[in-house]
Amino acid sequence: MTLIDTIKRHEGFRAKPYQCTSGVWTFGYGFTSITTAEANLVLDLKVKKLQETLSSAIKNLSQSRQDVLINMAYNLGIDGLMKFRKMWLAIHDKDFDRAAYEMLNSRWAKQVGNRAIELSDAMRKGE
């Protein structure tokens, strides 16, 4: 057994923060914090996974519009993004003004404020 395997077995993996036996908030394999570089690596991996998962649904869109949908999926999860049925219908019809409207006409837009405004603008313009 490798050192990594042994540490994994001893620490155990927890996807969500928990308090270890000494009361310290911990996550992953006993992490108490991560560096910016580590967080960037995880972010890159998550974004690549979202791109792969959504690739067939967004392949005919401009890069800017693909980025909007990836950004929304990062925030909402894939399932949450797919609930924007009227937005998806507008995208299918290439009616990007309507798609942008549907993005803003949502509970999500009220929750994220300027993020929704910025992303809906990018959806509308496609640049």
Domain ranges of the chain: 1-33, 41-125
Nearest to 83 by CA among 48, 107, 110: 107
The per-residue DSSP string of 26-68 comes to EEETTBS---HHHHHHHHHHHHHHHHHHHHHHHTTS-HHHHHH
E strands, the chain, where?
Answer: 14-19, 25-28
- Supply the pTM of this predicted model: 0.88
Question: Is 100's pLDDT higher than 90?
Answer: yes
CA distance 73 to 35: 24
User: What percent of the chain stands above pLDDT 70?
Assistant: 100
CA distance 76 to 109: 11
pLDDT in tens, 27-57: 999 999 999 999 999 999 999 999 999 999 9
Mean pLDDT for all residues in the chain? 96
CATH pick for 41-125 out of 1.10.10.520, 3.40.190.290, 1.10.530.40, 3.30.470.10:
1.10.530.40
